[in-house]
Structure 1
Amino acid sequence: MKKTILSTALLASASMLSFNAIAENQKDFSTVTKVQYVNDCMQANTKLNVYEGVHKCSCVVDKLDEAFTQTEFEDINTGYMYKNLPADRGAQFRDDKGLSSGIDKYEELSASAYKECRIQ
């Protein structure tokens, strides 16, 4: 009886440890962030039909999710969008060295993800 209780307790604690390890490896992007990215991706790639666009753009955002945290992605994505603003409005995004390296990484990973997910 004691062996059964002990083995049950050990099994339960082992399963909790593995569950926590799995939970820590979960993706970080919120559903809203993923949906917004997929919508923007589909608008930028109008040659894709809806079914194809949803699946391929979801593939891209999943690849980006593996590389960035939610906060990193939001900061880099904002900098990426606003770096081309004219004059002083875009200067803070162009001149920030930390943001520039993040944008370079984003561009590289995004191009790689587009290629892997077969978006032209």
Structure 2
Amino acid sequence: MNHSPVDGSVREPVEERLRAALAARANAVGPAELRPLRPPTDALRARRLSLRGTVVGLLALAAVAALVLFTLHGGTSRPAPPAHPPRPSVGTPSPVPSSASPTPVASPSAPEPDAR
């Protein structure tokens, strides 16, 4: 069974029961159950300001630490360039050996023959 409230929306029975229970609880609370209104004390205000100052100080310290860390490590690192295939430093060897005979190289430790 849906009820049509004044605003034209349709409410479910569960919602109606919840609204009725909340209204009954609100009507059960009277001025005797409420505590007197007092302005906040200076100690509470000082503690809030102290906590706020501590949080701001810690955030500033973290920002400085992050700035130093990024400065020392060169900021954001760039990706490495793509790899290139290895290239020989000298021309590629031919599969056919050359017909010229190699010249002998004198070794520095061998004594030279006497030509007499």
TM > 0.5 fold call: no
- The structure showing larger relative contact order (alpha-carbon pairs under 8 Å, at least 6 residues apart) is 1
TM-score (norm 1): 0.20
